[in-house]
Amino acid sequence: MARSYVREARRRGLGRRRERIGPIVGRLSDEHADAQIALRFRSDLELLVSVMLSAQTTDTNVNRVTEALFRKYRKPEDYLAVPEEELQRDIYTTGFYRQKTKAIRGTMRVLLEEYDGEVPRRLEDLVRLPGVARKTANVVAAELGHAQGVVVDTHVRRLSQRLGLTRHDDPVKIERDLQRIVPRADWARFPHLLIWHGRRVCNARRPRCDDCALEDLCPSSRLAAALPGPAELRSAELRSSAASGRARAGSRSRSG
């Protein structure tokens, strides 16, 4: 599937990945200037715990739980000072609470023993923490201002594939492809842009191609597929159709 979108980009004459990435980042930045991490935290430690809790649940759910959790647990020692069952109860509604409790307590032990209770910045240190996989480590490092990779979650995966930026399904390979074309200065911001675009416009089941700012850069645009005729003609029709779609959406949101 992803492979065919890369080929389709070539077939439609949309330009190479490296040529399209600049306009893609630029337009998404204009469209989603407010794109940022949705988890709420006030310290490096709270960030790390929030990201660990966010596996298999929504950011909203995590924020609901951490509001009380972070009033009770302020430093690594606090997570080890209570019985395991108590921490399990406190994070119960985030799901997988047994595994998460084990991971959080194991991580707190390592932070105290090896990092003076501080959250490390380097990816290779973060992935050594119990229960911290590459995605979690990438999110934490990026939020701490030390992005060393590109976060690939379900939205980033879907949009990278639809936009023909990768031929792969495996998140590690997708990350490698994105690292090759996305400017390093944008590694932290780019995933947020794709995540917000995925939530607001390019939904998994019903992408709103007629309201999409990337429509003329996207090999999986449904508008292009629906139109007959030569590529140049399709492209001109598409641009005008997408522009009027966006204008309609703009006036809807201004009047709404």
d(CA 204, CA 246): 20
Cβ distance 182 to 21 under 8 Å?
A: yes
- Is residue 116 part of the annotated active site? The answer reads no
Nearer to ligand SF4, 25 or 209 (CB): 209
Q: Looking at 100, 135, 177, 211, which residue is catalytic?
A: 135
SS3 207: strand
Stretch that binds ligand SF4, among 56-64, 132-140, 147-155, 210-218 (CB under 6 A): 210-218
Catalytic residue, chosen from 59, 78, 125, 153, is: 153
Is residue 246 a contact residue for ligand SF4 (CB under 6 A)?
A: no
| Helix ranges (DSSP H) in 130-188 | 134-143, 154-162, 171-181
Restricting to residues 146-205, name those near ligand SF4 by CB under 6 A: 162-163, 201-202
2 binds ligand SF4 (CB under 6 A): no
CA 220 to chain centre: 20
Segment interacting with ligand SF4, rule: CB under 6 A, options 34-42, 52-60, 80-88, 214-222:
214-222
**Is 214 an interacting residue with respect to ligand SF4 (CB under 6 A)?**
yes
Q: How far is the CB of 88 from ligand SF4 (least distance, A)?
A: 40
- Looking only at residues 215 through 234 of this chain, which bind ligand SF4 when binding is defined by CB under 6 A? 215, 218, 220-221
The closest alpha carbon to 138, from 166, 178, 110, belongs to: 178
Taking the complex as a whole, the smallest distance from the CB of residue 240 to ligand SF4 amounts, in Å, to 15
Which of 102, 110, 176 has the alpha carbon at shortest distance from 138? 176
- CA-wise closest residue to 138 among 130, 150, 128, 129: 150
Q: How far apart are the first and last CA of the chain?
A: 37
Query: Both tokens of residue 45?
Result: 């430690």
CB proximity list for 172: less than 8 A, separation 6 or greater: 134, 152
**177 an active-site residue?**
no
Assess 209 for contact with ligand SF4 (CB under 6 A).
Answer: yes
Nearer to ligand SF4, 76 or 219 (CB): 219
Residues that are catalytic? 135, 153
Sites of contact with ligand SF4 (CB under 6 A): 162-163, 201-202, 207-209, 212, 214-215, 218, 220-221
